[in-house]
Chain A
């Protein structure tokens, strides 16, 4: 039986879909049987980020309405044959799927896959409830902004109320220079408020925008800092103990010379 992990955040635009795509791809690269489920019905994006948009024939609504078989709706990835996507419908809305149906769907998927990763829509309404209905674990994504942390806190409360305990935290889009100068919340500040386990930190990285536009998850690119951060997170999900990435190694040449001479 596989794990059903929901990736959620409350606030929009913090990187749920990017995180889902990268963790899913990373797990597939590690040889796991993976399926990603997009539950953002009406605003589907995961297919675009994965570069699989043009292969969609059936979607999650077709599956729960039994217009097609589950196998027909699953899209096999073009790079990794052990990675699948169950896309959201674009012409329907969140009410097209019920929580009970999601539970049944997740139960079926976890029989066949080691990891079922669910991309949750923003918000705390119907779409969120659907997304978490069949999950047994959760990853909460936040950015170092007060508003995102506030929403993450709310989401953690709602997850616990729904019986999903000990969600893990990913802090996305950290800008080390701003943290150092005291203009951005530090990892410790966020952990103090949310008080849940940290699964990983991901630096703000321009290569993410490029890879998202090209439909190639950053985790496949060894030169991408964010990609390496996601790779570390994948290892942690697989049970490996990987130290947190040190983000401040992109200091200027002079600072490096200075620190070389012990002049910090």
Chain B
């Protein structure tokens, strides 16, 4: 498969955050952000590249904040207050039923829309 060259996947620079991001805490980073812990409601992450959360993502996240629409957001449990990629903003539909036990999901832009898909490790 062809890999697009873009800031998000050429920029290998990433920051690793250990522990839970709590309400009121904000992380801005001009690269990729990896969190080992939960991102709680009221916390925000703004990254120029990808965002990966090894835990439950319940806060607000913005990947590709400088306009890179190849950026993605991956979490073990994807339940954000709001999800932004580049210039796209989405939120979970109102009254969304719990979709089973938590499982890893990935959000990315496809055909100009934010798509949420089951996370499958790249081969």
Contacts and interface: CB of A to CB of B under 8 A. Distances in A.
Contacts of A151: 23
B20 A158 contact: no
B1 to A, nearest CB: 37
Contact of B42 (A153, A158, A192): A153
Interface residues of A, number: 11
Given A154-B23, A195-B20, 9 more contacts: A150-B41, A153-B40, A153-B41, A157-B22, A157-B25, A158-B24, A192-B56, A193-B38, A193-B40
Interface residues of B, number: 11
A164 to B, nearest CB: 14
Nearest to B24: A154
A37 interface: no
B38 A157 contact: no
Interface in B1-53: 20, 22-25, 38, 40-42
Interface string A130-144: 000000000000000
Interface of A: 150-151, 153-154, 156-158, 160, 192-193, 195
Contacts of B58: 193
Contacts of A150: 23, 41-42
A192 B56 CA distance: 10
Contacts of A193: 38, 40-41, 58
Question: Which 6 A-B pairs have CB atoms at the shortest separation, nearest pair first?
Answer: A157-B22, A154-B23, A153-B23, A154-B24, A153-B22, A153-B40
Task: Classify the interface of chain B: helix, strand, loop or mixed.
Answer: loop
A195 B23 contact: no
B81 to A, nearest CB: 11
Contact of B23 (A157, A160, A192): A157
Most buried by A among B20, B24, B56: B24
Interface of B: 20, 22-25, 38, 40-42, 56, 58
Contacts of A156: 22
A150 B42 CA distance: 7
A160 B40 CA distance: 15
23 contacts: A150-B23, A150-B42, A151-B23, A153-B22, A153-B23, A153-B40, A153-B41, A153-B42, A154-B22, A154-B23, A154-B24, A154-B42, A157-B22, A157-B23, A157-B24, A157-B25, A158-B24, A160-B22, A193-B40, A193-B41, A193-B58, A195-B20, A195-B38
A189 to B, nearest CB: 12
Contacts of B23: 150-151, 153-154, 157
Nearest to A146: B41
Contacts of A192: 56
Contacts of B42: 150, 153-154
A153 B59 CA distance: 12
Contacts of B20: 195
Contacts of B22: 153-154, 156-157, 160
